[in-house]
C-alpha cells in the first residue's frame, strides 16, 4: 500500500444538505424482524459480559468462536456455545503482556495483543510470548498514540498484514492536517507502515469534543478499500491506492450535532459531551451477507427524558448503495457484533443470564423479503 496520500475533493465531500442519493426512498424496518436464530455462549459466575469481539474459524476438530477478554483467551464450540478452552496470560515476567491491553487479534495460530500502547506482542495459545515489537513513534503534531477499539475499530487482517487505527481520545487543534491515522503491521517482515486519510474540514467546529471527534474504520480486503466513517459526517471516506474520496452514506433522518463543553479541573480539562446530540457511530462489514453496516444515533437521551433516544442501523451494499435503515432499541439489542455463518450476532439482553450470554443472529440478506 502506498504511504503517500492524494486527496481527491468532490463537491459533495462533506454535505449534510439534500443530494440525489439522500432523497432516494429506502425501506425503514424493525431490526428484530431480521433475527433468525439465538446463539448462547457459556460463562462462569465471575464473568459479567463476554463482549462482542469474537472471531469464527473452522478447525480440524470443528467450528469455534474465539475471543480475548480480561487477559484470557477463550474458545467456544460453534454453534453449541460450550467453552472448550480458557487460557490466562501473565501481566508481568518473561511471558507478561502488561496490565493494559487495548486491542487484540486472534488468527488460527496466534494471538496478537496491543500492550500498554507501547508494544505489539505475539503469543501462542498456551500463554507464552513469541515475539515483541515496539510501536513506532509519532510526530509532535500527533502528540500521542491511541491504538484503541473505540468506535468499533477492531484489528483487521488481510493476508500477512494486521490493519489497525490510531484514534484520538479527543480531536484537538492541529489534527485537521494530520493524516497518519491508519497503521499496518507486516507479520512476515515485522515492519510497520501507514495508510493515510484526513478528517473532513467540518471537524474544526467540534474541537475538544470527545464524542464527535471519533471515527470508525473497516477494510474490504478483496476491493483493497479502507472505509472511514466520521461521527459528524454523512459521507464516508474511501481510501484506495493512496487516494481519498467521499461517498454519501447517511441516514434519511434529520440529525443535529451538538458540540460539548470543557471544564477546567485543577491541572486537567474535563470533557463534557452533549449526550443528546446526534452522531454516527461505528462501521462493520458482514462478510457473509456482503453488507456494510453503519450505526447512527439519531437523537441521544437527555437526563430528563431518557426515552427520547433513537438509534438506527444503516445497511449498504459493497459499493455503499443504501439498502435499508433498521430501527432498534439499545436496551434490547447490542450495537456491535461479529460474523457467523448463520448471520451477524449482536448481544440479546433479554435472554442473557448468569450462566450464558445470548446473541441475536441477524440475517441481513433477508432485507428484500421484508420490504
SS (H, E, C) 214-268: CEEEEEEHHHCEEEEEECCCCEEEEEECCEEEEEECCCCCCCCCCCCEEEEECCE
The answer, yes or no, to whether residue 18 has pLDDT greater than 50, is no
Grid cell, residue 96, equals: 507478561
Instruction: Answer yes or no: is 303 within a domain.
Output: yes
Are 7 and 332 in contact, with CB atoms under 8 Å apart? no
Place of cell 464450540: 77
Summarised one tens digit per residue, pLDDT across range 231-246 is 999 999 999 999 999 9
Instruction: Answer yes or no: is 210 within a domain.
Output: yes
CA–CA gap between residue 67 and residue 114 (Å, rounded): 14
Instruction: Answer yes or no: is 183 within a domain.
Output: yes
For residue 16, how far is the Cα from the chain centroid? 23
CA–CA gap between residue 112 and residue 129 (Å, rounded): 10
Strand partners, 217: 228
Grid cell, residue 351, equals: 435472554
Summarised one tens digit per residue, pLDDT across range 249-270 is 999 999 999 999 999 888 888 9
Which domain covers residue 194, as residue numbers?
A: 6-370
Grid cell, residue 198, equals: 484526513
Instruction: Answer yes or no: is 43 within a domain.
Output: yes
Q: Which residue has the higher pLDDT, 212 or 1?
A: 212
Provide the pLDDT for residue 1: 44
Are 289 and 36 in contact, with CB atoms under 8 Å apart? no
For residue 271, how far is the Cα from the chain centroid? 22
Instruction: Answer yes or no: is 167 within a domain.
Output: yes
Instruction: Answer yes or no: is 1 within a domain.
Output: no
Average pLDDT over residues 306-318: 94
Q: Which helix (H) or strand (E) holds 9?
A: none
Summarised one tens digit per residue, pLDDT across range 313-371 is 999 999 999 999 999 999 999 999 999 999 999 999 999 999 999 999 999 999 977 65
| pTM as predicted | 0.92
Provide the pLDDT for residue 13: 41
Grid cell, residue 258, equals: 451538538
Average pLDDT over residues 174-180: 94
Q: Which of 166, 159, 87 minimizes the C-alpha distance to 129?
A: 87
Summarised one tens digit per residue, pLDDT across range 45-58 is 888 889 999 999 99
Q: Which distant-in-sequence residues (6+ apart) come within 8 Å of 270 by Cβ?
A: 262, 263, 264
Instruction: Answer yes or no: is 90 within a domain.
Output: yes
Grid cell, residue 20, equals: 440525489
- CATH code where residue 320 lies: 2.120.10.30
As for how many domains the chain has, the answer is 1
Instruction: Answer yes or no: is 349 within a domain.
Output: yes
Provide the pLDDT for residue 19: 41
Grid cell, residue 187, equals: 507479520
Provide the pLDDT for residue 320: 97
Q: Which helix (H) or strand (E) holds 119?
A: strand 119-123
Amino acid at each position: 500500500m502506498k504511504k503517500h496520500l492524494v486527496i481527491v475533493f468532490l463537491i459533495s465531500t462533506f454535505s449534510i444538505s439534500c443530494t440525489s442519493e439522500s432523497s432516494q426512498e429506502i425501506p425503514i424496518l424493525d431490526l428484530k424482524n431480521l433475527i433468525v436464530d439465538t446463539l448462547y455462549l457459556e460463562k462462569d459466575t465471575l464473568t459479567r459480559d463476554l463482549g462482542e469481539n469474537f472471531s469464527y474459524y473452522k478447525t480440524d476438530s470443528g467450528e469455534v468462536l474465539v475471543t480475548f477478554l480480561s487477559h484470557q483467551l477463550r474458545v467456544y464450540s460453534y454453534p453449541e456455545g460450550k467453552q472448550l478452552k480458557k487460557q490466562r496470560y501473565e501481566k508481568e515476567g518473561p511471558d507478561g503482556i502488561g496490565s493494559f491491553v487495548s486491542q487484540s487479534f486472534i488468527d488460527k495460530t496466534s494471538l496478537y495483543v496491543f500492550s500498554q500502547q507501547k508494544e505489539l506482542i505475539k503469543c501462542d495459545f498456551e500463554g507464552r510470548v513469541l515475539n515483541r515489537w515496539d510501536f513506532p513513534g509519532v510526530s509532535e503534531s500527533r502528540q500521542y498514540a491511541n491504538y484503541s477499539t473505540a468506535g468499533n475499530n477492531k484489528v483487521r487482517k488481510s493476508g500477512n498484514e494486521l490493519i489497525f487505527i490510531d484514534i484520538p481520545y479527543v480531536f484537538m487543534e492541529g489534527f485537521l492536517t494530520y493524516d497518519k491515522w491508519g497503521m499496518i503491521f507486516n507479520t512476515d517482515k515485522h515492519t510497520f507502515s501507514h495508510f493515510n486519510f484526513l478528517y473532513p474540514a467540518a471537524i474544526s467546529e467540534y474541537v475538544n469534543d470527545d464524542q464527535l471527534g471519533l471515527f470508525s474504520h473497516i477494510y474490504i480486503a478483496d476491493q483493497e478499500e479502507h472505509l472511514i466513517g466520521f461521527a459528524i459526517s454523512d459521507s464516508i471516506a474511501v481510501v484506495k491506492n493512496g487516494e481519498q474520496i467521499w461517498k454519501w452514506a447517511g441516514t434519511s433522518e434529520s440529525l443535529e450535532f451538538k458540540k460539548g463543553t470543557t471544564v477546567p479541573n485543577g491541572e486537567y480539562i474535563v470533557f463534557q459531551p452533549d449526550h443528546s446530540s446526534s452522531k454516527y457511530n461505528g462501521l462493520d462489514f458482514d462478510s457473509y451477507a456482503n453488507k456494510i453496516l453503519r450505526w447512527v444515533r439519531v437523537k441521544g437521551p437527555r437526563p430528563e427524558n431518557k426515552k427520547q433516544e433513537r438509534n438506527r442501523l444503516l445497511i449498504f451494499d459493497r459499493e455503499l448503495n443504501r439498502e435499508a435503515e433498521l430501527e432498534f432499541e439499545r436496551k434490547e439489542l447490542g450495537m456491535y457484533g461479529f460474523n457467523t455463518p448463520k448471520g451477524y450476532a449482536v448481544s440479546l439482553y433479554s435472554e442473557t443470564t448468569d450462566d450464558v450470554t445470548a446473541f441475536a443472529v441477524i440475517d441481513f440478506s433477508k432485507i428484500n423479503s421484508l420490504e
